[in-house]
Structure 1
Amino acid sequence: MMGPVLAACLLIILSTAWISQANGATCKKDGGVCTCNDQTKNVDCSSKGLTAIPSNIPTDTDRLDLQSNKLSSLPRTAFHNLNKLTFLSLESNQLQTLPEGVFDQLVNLSKLYLQDNELKSLPSGIFDKLTKLTDLTLSQNKLQSLPHGVFDKLTNLNKLWLQNNQLKRVPEGAFNFLEKLTRLQLYGNPWDCSCNDILYLSKWIREKEGKVNGIESATCVNKKAVLEITEEEAAEDCVYPNTTTAIPTTIITTLASSNDDDIPELPVPQENFQKFLGYQEPDHLPTQPQCLMSISGYLGLMMFFVLISAAILYVIHFLKKA
């Protein structure tokens, strides 16, 4: 009677293994590209040349390291179901944008590293759900501005790194809610001290001098310290251009009053035509590790059927002998 029991057990084991394989593998032990530690709940996917975040990261992961890859964008659902994460590193990638809500489920996150990317702007409310965040690193990017209230919900923030960006100013009240802040790096930005909207930052630095480390190093484009700027020096009411280009009213009026025959035919770039039709490039192409995982999935499926056939033949043979 042991023969059929062993065969049934073999079938169950094979089915479980195939289901795991078919769902995709993240950890090396399952055929994936990342190193996973079951005891510490750490998942290390650093320096793998990834262009997309691996699927099926364990939901109980505490630390996720994705640094030094080739990520240029993140889908909005990239970190869904990872609400136990306390550490996330995305540094040294090629991120150009962040979608709204990408971090919203990381409600236990305390450390977020985004330095050394290509971010030019941040969506409004991008950090609003990260109320337990203590360390936020945005240095070595291309940030040209910060949204109003972008740090308002980060009342537990202890360290903030903004150095080596393209910031000319910060919004009024940008740091007012950061009562626990002990370190803020601002150097390496072209602070525009001729405009009166620099006065908030200048006053805030003077008030926090000696309480928040690193802030004194912020200097204007003329090398003068931001904290030394006076109202007389920053007298201009500057208006910075928008990132979008508006069509002048005169052109619209002219086109509206013209006959169709008078309107010149303008060439439409192919990329604009594609956008008009709703065409979008895919978020990413499959990476080499993902292709390998797909191949291994097919091989696993073939092996599964071969072993099942062998088990069935063994059961039939045993029953005939019985």
Structure 2
Amino acid sequence: MMGPVLAACLLIILSTAWISQANGATCKKDGGVCTCNDQTKNVDCSSKGLTAIPSNIPVDTDRLVLNYNKLRELEPTAFHGLNKLTYLDLNYNELQTLPVGVFDHLVNLDKLYLNKNQLKSLPPGIFDKLTKITYLDLEGNKLQSLPHGVFDKLTELKTLYLSNNQLKSVPEGAFDYLSSLNILYLNDNPWDCSCRDILYLSNWIREKKGTVSNIEAAECDGGTKAVLEITEEEAAEDCVYPNTTTAIPTTIITTLASSNDDDIPELPVPQENFQKFLGYQEPDHLPTQPQCLMSISGYLGLMMSLVLTSAAILYVIHFLKKA
């Protein structure tokens, strides 16, 4: 009786191993979805409808193209092991956030394309390990602010695109460490020229005028005036922008501390805000099994697994009935 049981188990194990190998394949020659060139070390996964980064990208890949897909998020380890990569194209996807450390292993990266996504913010230190990068494109996102020091480590950066976002200002000293910068696109942002925060950018543009290209195109919200023309008298307000930490006035703290609980009015808290406070987020989409969904081999492997498993079960049942 053990003979057929062992045979069935062996069939299942072999089919599972075959599926795992097929699902892990990246290049078309191995049954994957991407086109790989062994001579140039290029991997092209563009326009494949991908919802996750393919697995088993060759570790010696120099150029990785993932544009025109449906990537909404990245795993923190998505590019681990790809320390030979010099070119990474993620433009025209649906990225809404970037996990901390996702680029930390790309120590040789020269060009990074993140344009035409849905990024509203950047994690602090997201580019700190990219010390060799010369080209960074963040154009066409929804960035509302920049973290302090986000570009401080990019001393080799020559070209930076920040155009067509929702930036109203940049942090004090945002561009001070970009000693190699010669092209910066700042146009098509709603720069708020009524706030003091704009003065750093205004002064920096005046100082770098003629040295860094395209910076003079930055205009105040509404296109009424160039940012470089703003004076301290015009930018007189103290404004608060997203992701800006502000101190709570002492008077408010004192008032709250001295008040009785009964005196504090109960404020309605929207359910959405309460869920965000608790760290809860409604999933936008069900989790996927990237390897199974990204290639034809994944579907074929799944079908083969079902067939082999069913055959093994029927074989065991048939043998038991005879016994």
TM-aligned CA distance change 1:65 to 1:283, over 3 Å: farther
User: Could you tell me which of 254, 257, 260 is aligned with 2:261?
Assistant: 257
- Residue 288 of structure 2 corresponds to 285
Give SS of 1:148's match.
coil
Q: Determine the C-alpha separation between the residues in 2 that align with 1:26 and 1:126.
A: 27
Q: Determine the C-alpha separation between the residues in 2 that align with 1:195 and 1:264.
A: 30
- Residue 230 of structure 2 corresponds to 229
Which stretch of the first structure deviates more once superposed, 86-95 or 277-286?
277-286
TM-aligned CA distance change 1:27 to 1:209, over 3 Å: same
For residues 120-176 of structure 1, what are the alpha-carbon distances to aligned partners after superposition, in whole Å with 9 as ceiling and x for unaligned?
Answer: 000000000000000000000000000000000000000000000000000000000
Give SS of 2:136's match.
strand
Letter in 2 for 1:146: L
CA contact (8 A) 1:36 1:43 kept: yes
Q: CA deviation at 1:221?
A: 1.3
Q: Identity over the aligned pairs, expressed in percent?
A: 64
Letter in 2 for 1:102: V
- Residue 311 of structure 1 corresponds to none
Letter in 2 for 1:196: R
Structure 1 residue runs without a partner (length 5+): 1-13, 305-322
Q: Determine the C-alpha separation between the residues in 2 that align with 1:264 and 1:183.
A: 49
Q: CA deviation at 1:21?
A: 2.8
Which stretch of the first structure deviates more once superposed, 87-96 or 235-244?
235-244
Q: Determine the C-alpha separation between the residues in 1 that align with 2:260 and 2:43.
A: 59
Q: CA deviation at 1:265?
A: 11
CA contact (8 A) 1:32 1:289 kept: no
Matches within 5 A, 1:1-322: 21-22=21-22, 24-223=24-223, 224-240=225-241, 257-258=261-262, 272=275, 284-286=287-289, 289-290=293-294, 292-297=296-301
TM-aligned CA distance change 1:243 to 1:280, over 3 Å: farther
Q: Compute the RMSD of aligned alpha carbons.
A: 3.7
Q: Determine the C-alpha separation between the residues in 2 that align with 1:233 and 1:264.
A: 37
CA contact (8 A) 2:33 2:295 kept: no
CA contact (8 A) 2:131 2:156 kept: yes
Q: CA deviation at 1:24?
A: 1.3
Letter in 2 for 1:70: K
- Residue 314 of structure 1 corresponds to none
Instruction: Return the TM-score normalized by structure 2.
Output: 0.77
Q: CA deviation at 1:231?
A: 1.1
TM-aligned CA distance change 1:277 to 1:113, over 3 Å: closer
For residues 13-34 of structure 1, what are the alpha-carbon distances to aligned partners after superposition, in whole Å with 9 as ceiling and x for unaligned?
Answer: x9xx959835611101111100
CA contact (8 A) 1:51 1:71 kept: yes
**Number of aligned pairs?**
288
**Higher relative CO (CA 8 A, sep ≥ 6), structure 1 or 2?**
2
CA contact (8 A) 1:24 1:293 kept: no
Q: Determine the C-alpha separation between the residues in 2 that align with 1:41 and 1:91.
A: 20
Letter in 1 for 2:176: N
TM-aligned CA distance change 1:100 to 1:286, over 3 Å: same
Q: Determine the C-alpha separation between the residues in 1 that align with 2:298 and 2:179.
A: 49
Give SS of 1:294's match.
helix
TM-aligned CA distance change 1:278 to 1:142, over 3 Å: closer
CA contact (8 A) 1:21 1:297 kept: no
Give SS of 1:196's match.
coil
Q: Determine the C-alpha separation between the residues in 2 that align with 1:84 and 1:277.
A: 37
CA contact (8 A) 1:46 1:65 kept: yes
Q: Which runs of 4+ in 1 moved over 6 A?
A: 252-256, 262-267, 275-283, 299-304
Letter in 2 for 1:178: L
